[in-house]
């Protein structure tokens, strides 16, 4: 089916016009279903339908094959004629050098076309041109230099390991994915095979497991965008059976011990004791000396890796209080104790280094789920007193747990980062922390596509501003390849 894109009155019955006077086909639901995936994307862009644009991305539409037959315009040309939000969506989900530099039948590139519409749209496109089109030249210029700086030792057992830590934050796991994608884009090859140790909390634990089971970062981004409306359906607390079914399908029922590389460390918390106890699900075997006796097992947060399935470990780590019930009425979100698991990872590594005969880490990468804008809170004492009077003894447990979670989440980007930075400095190990500044305080159960795409745009902008740090990290990573 070919869209009619005339702007005259001859197609007024089958077409309508957008605010800029451009023709949009008026189709029945049956006609829309019969469109090819590429035609569906073209229509979604012309209609500025974010939901449909995202759905086309999830389904794997080849955006390079989307060309308007009437004027030779690609998806970005079409988006320029709509609005800023649609342009950002197309850039985030589909942009590549071919799309950014492609010309329509008039010889205009999207950037040139944007000059007639909006300076903000033009700036957005220019940002992605700087990101995608200039990086290739920089990579070729640096290739010879990087060859000289590579480590001579190719023995995997003695290579300095690379450590990665992934914060918790619900749907803001998309921030983790986007940051990793940006690092990978600058690296020019898959990042995951370079990682030796990974710690994850909550959504960070789920992402770590998915990557360890062979999912790509792009697969994970599509998965998060697809499942958010399924997992966060209805009101809190959400149905845990839905999340568990997805975890089983995505992560399998294999034991966590089946994962050989990287070494996984997933955080959870036991809330059936006071004070709450940190639990660490590991994919690797601990030395026998560290697990002799209940006291040592408690100190190490030990759980037998040979009886724990991957999906259950991820479920225990992501049971956020008030969002999902505790798993087995015991395990809740690791964010209750350490939403940023970097220090747990460093402590674990240093403790095990003499047993595993490990060299110092090559570098430590800590990624957060975004830093929300600061805001002042005004809480009157009278309100607190009235609230406490209404709280029964039976809900004291939940109140304390929720308060602990809030406190830990707010500390993910402050004192913990300072401690980890100082720890790495003492070891002489490069430390990188990326938790992009967000323009809005995004909820961990957010499902609105506009809000989520704006969050991802904030990540791109913040990471471009931090490109010197990204370049330093990439240079260090390349020296390990």
Query: CB within 8 A of 461, min separation 6: which ones?
Result: 127, 436
Spell 306-333 as b/e; 16+ CB within 10 A means b.
eebbbbbbbbbbbbbbebbebbeebbbb
> What are the two backbone dihedrals, phi and then psi, of residue 103, each rounded to the nearest 5 degrees?
-115, 145
Does residue 73 contact residue 108 with C-beta atoms inside 8 Å?
A: no
Instruction: Tell me which H or E stretch contains 366.
Output: strand 363-367
Please report, in angstroms and rounded to a whole number, the separation of the first and last CA atoms in the chain. 48
Q: Compute the distance between CA of residue 341 and CA of residue 433 in angstroms, rounded to an integer.
A: 12
Residue 444 backbone dihedrals phi, psi, to 5 degrees? -75, -15
Instruction: Answer left, alpha or beta for residue 268, where phi above 0 means left and psi between -120 and 50 means alpha.
Output: beta
Cis bond upstream, residue 345 (ω within 30): no
What is the CB neighbour count within 10 angstroms for residue 102?
Answer: 19
Q: At a CB cut-off of 8 Å and minimum separation 6, what does 295 contact?
A: none
**C-beta separation of 77 from 100 below 8 A:** no
Cα 144 to Cα 149: distance, rounded to the nearest angstrom = 9
Catalytic residues: 202, 333
Distance CA 427, CA 361 (A): 9
Q: In whole angstroms, how far apart are CA 218 and each of 38, 85, 181, 419, 435?
A: 19, 21, 8, 32, 19
Q: Are 53 and 37 in contact (CB under 8 A)?
A: no
Q: Are strands 15-17 and 23-25 parallel, antiparallel or unpaired?
A: antiparallel
Question: Are the C-beta atoms of 447 and 202 separated by less than 8 Å?
Answer: no
Structure tokens of 123?
Answer: 């700036």
The length of the chain is 481
Residue with tokens 């230099």: 145
34-73 burial: b if 16+ Cβ within 10 Å, else e: ebebbbbbbbbbbbbbbebbbbbbeeebebeebbbeeeeb
Residue pair 143/150 in contact (Cβ under 8 Å)? The answer is no
Q: In whole angstroms, how far apart are CA 83 and each of 87, 154, 306?
A: 6, 50, 53
């Amino acid at each position: 089916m070919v869209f009619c894109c005339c702007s005259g009155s001859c197609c007024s019955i089958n077409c309508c016009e957008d605010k800029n006077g451009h023709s949009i086909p008026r189709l029945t639901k049956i006609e829309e279903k019969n469109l090819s995936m590429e035609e569906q994307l073209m229509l979604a862009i012309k209609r500025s339908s974010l939901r449909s644009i995202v759905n086309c991305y999830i389904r794997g539409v080849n955006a390079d094959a989307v060309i308007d037959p009437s004027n030779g315009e690609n998806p970005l040309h079409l988006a320029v004629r709509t609005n800023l939000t649609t342009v950002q969506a197309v850039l985030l989900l589909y942009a590549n050098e071919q799309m950014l530099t492609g010309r329509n039948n008039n010889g205009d590139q999207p950037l040139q076309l944007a000059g007639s519409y909006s300076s903000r749209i033009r700036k957005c496109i220019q940002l992605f041109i700087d990101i995608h089109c200039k990086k290739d030249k920089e990579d070729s210029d640096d290739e010879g230099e990087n060859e000289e700086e590579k480590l001579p030792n190719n023995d995997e057992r003695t290579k300095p390991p690379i450590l990665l830590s992934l914060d918790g934050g619900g749907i803001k796991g998309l921030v983790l994915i986007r940051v990793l994608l940006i690092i990978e884009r600058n690296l020019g090859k898959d990042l995951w095979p370079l990682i030796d140790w990974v710690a994850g909390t909550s959504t960070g634990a789920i992402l770590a497991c998915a990557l360890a089971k062979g999912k790509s970062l792009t697969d994970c981004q599509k998965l998060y965008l697809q499942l958010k409306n399924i997992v966060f359906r209805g009101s809190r607390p959400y149905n845990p059976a839905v999340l568990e079914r997805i975890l089983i399908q995505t992560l399998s029922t294999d034991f966590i011990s089946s994962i050989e590389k990287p070494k996984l460390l997933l955080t959870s918390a036991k809330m059936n004791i006071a004070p709450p106890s940190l639990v660490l699900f590991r994919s690797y075997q601990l030395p026998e000396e560290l697990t002799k006796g209940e006291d040592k097992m408690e100190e190490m947060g030990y759980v037998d890796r040979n009886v724990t399935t991957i999906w259950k470990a991820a479920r225990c780590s992501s049971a956020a209080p008030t969002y999902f019930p505790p798993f087995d009425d015991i395990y809740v979100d690791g964010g209750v104790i350490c939403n940023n698991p970097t220090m747990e990872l460093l402590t674990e590594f240093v403790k095990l280094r003499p047993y595993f005969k490990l060299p110092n880490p090559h570098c430590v990468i800590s990624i957060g789920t975004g830093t929300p804008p600061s805001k002042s809170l005004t809480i009157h004492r009278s309100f607190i007193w009235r609230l406490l009077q209404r709280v029964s003894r039976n809900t004291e447990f939940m109140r304390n747990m929720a308060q602990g979670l809030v406190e830990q989440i707010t500390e993910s980007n402050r004192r913990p980062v300072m401690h980890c930075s100082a720890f790495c400095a003492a070891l002489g190990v490069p430390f990188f922390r990326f938790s992009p500044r967000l323009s809005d305080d995004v909820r961990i159960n957010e499902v609105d596509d506009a809000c989520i795409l704006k969050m991802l745009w904030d990540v791109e902008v913040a990471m471009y501003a931090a490109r010197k740090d990204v370049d330093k990290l990439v240079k260090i990573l390349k020296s390990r390849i």
